[in-house]
Amino acid sequence: MKTNPSIPDSQLLVDWDHTYLWHPFTPMQYWEKEKPLIIQQGKDYRLQDIEGRWYIDGVSSLWVNVHGHGHPKLNWALKAQIKQIAHSTLLGLSHPTAITLAKDLIRIAPEGLKRVFYSDSGATAVEIALKMAFQYWANLGRPQKKSFICLENAYHGDTVGAVSVGGIPLFHQVYRPLLFKTFQAPSPFCYRCSLKMEPSYCQMACLDRLRRLMERHKETMAALILEPLVQGAAGMICHPVGYLKKVREICTRNNILMIADEVAVGFGRTGTMFACEQEKVSPDLLCLGKGLTGGYLPLAATLTTEKIYRAFLGKVEEAKTFFHGHTYTGNPLACAVAIANLELMLKKDFFLKVQKKIAWLNQSLIPFQNLPYVGEVRQKGLMVGIELVKDKKTKEPFPLKERMGHQVIMEARNRGIIVRPLGDVIVLMPPLTISLKGLKHLVQGTYQAIQTVCK
């Protein structure tokens, strides 16, 4: 059924896609040879393509969706706002939805975070945190504190500053000459420990490396940045319990700011509103994005403490102002839908239901361990990474050119499931409100897809 007469038929769309579009993170040489899946509609946890087939949205439309597609409350919030105004600026003006959302965010944020600075994507939220940390020390008269420390396998977005603090060689290596220098500490990735140790005896030796680096360079270090609990884009690397809390202590002891990038893990993904809560950690700067609008519109925020905010106050001629802003900063429509998103999340049984699904998922992932080419299954909340390896014993990966992850997700697609691989890690990240039936379909279909491809 065609509803919009300006949208042409499917063959034309395929041709135009291949002719005019350049897709993100996509090896286009392969893309041009495959028929693209074109989505025209979404309902709850499902997506429909232009030929009318339905699929499970197994990655929440790239980690953003919370309450499903087309939620009546979120739709209503948008409609109500658009009657008022679609956009007005926060530069020199203000408006009700941006104000209200800021208040709501501060109410739920980890203790000590008191100010909200808006932007429009996770990467910009990170850029802002980096620039705030840098300028904070400059404003305090300590401009020598200007370097950053990040982790191996880190992903903080694709703008140049965010890539500078990134640590995924495949994504980031080519841009090295363009980036500012950072310190890099080992990732607490026990399955592939870069220190070649085992959790049974190492006592988090990686943390010790981090501590030594920070102690040695504390006079010149502005901030540490990390993804709390799970390094998402690197393949759902789940950190050992207690790591985050220890990192916070090291930052505090050495007077180095802590930036928590909760763009992926925030808004319920790990089973609590924010990942930091699970280790009772408050960062100095918190980056939010993705799930903030329930997956409806691009909006991001960087939250910080009153202490950092106050360091930016001063006479005009002191130039302590934070000279940063994006044109669509704090867009009213995006803020309106974000307010409604939070309202739904704060209903008293919301997290109870999520917890039940997390527990069910945990059990249902056990059989994956016995599949021949599954090296490790990682889960935190409703985030799952299933790492495929050529050799389970040696953990040897498949050659890149076999595109095993890609093969598996294409097979899953035949079973009505949309998932995305991160290299050879199959990611499951359904909307938080997915039904148990939907979750079962997702898990079983993925299992069968891996079984079929890895025969």
Ligand X SMILES: *Cc1c(COP(=O)(O)O)cnc(C)c1O
Interface residues with ligand X (CB under 6 A) are 121-123, 126, 155-157, 227, 232-233, 261, 263-264, 289-290
Q: Which residues of 408-430 are buried (b: 16+ CB within 10 A; e: fewer)?
A: bbebbbebebbbbbbbbbbbbbb
Q: What is the DSSP pairing of strand 300-305 with strand 285-288?
A: antiparallel
Give the C-alpha separation, 91 to 95, whole Å. 11
Nearer to ligand X, 291 or 405 (CB): 291
Cβ-based nearer residue to ligand X, 148 or 155: 155
Position with the least CB separation from ligand X: 122
Strands 113-119 and 300-305: antiparallel
Identify the three-state secondary structure at position 131: helix
Nearer residue to ligand X within complex by CB, 99 or 179 = 179
Contact 168, 234 (CB under 8 A): yes
Q: Write the CB contacts of 196 (distance below 8 Å, at least 6 apart in sequence).
A: none
Q: Which amino acid is at 1?
A: M
Compute the least distance from the CB of residue 383 to ligand X, in Å: 10
Amino acid at 341: N
Judged by beta carbon, residue 227 or residue 376, the one nearer ligand X is 227
Rounded to a whole number of angstroms, the minimum distance from the CB of residue 157 to ligand X is 3
The minimum distance between CB 300 and ligand X, in angstroms, equals 6
> Which CB, 265 or 449, lies closer to ligand X?
265
Residue 318 C-beta: closest distance to ligand X, Å: 32
Ramachandran bin of 44, using left for φ above 0, alpha for ψ from -120 to 50, beta for the remaining angles: left
Q: In 27-140, which ranges are E strands?
A: 39-43, 46-49, 54-57, 113-119
- Taking the least distance from each CB to ligand X, the nearer of 156 and 357 is 156
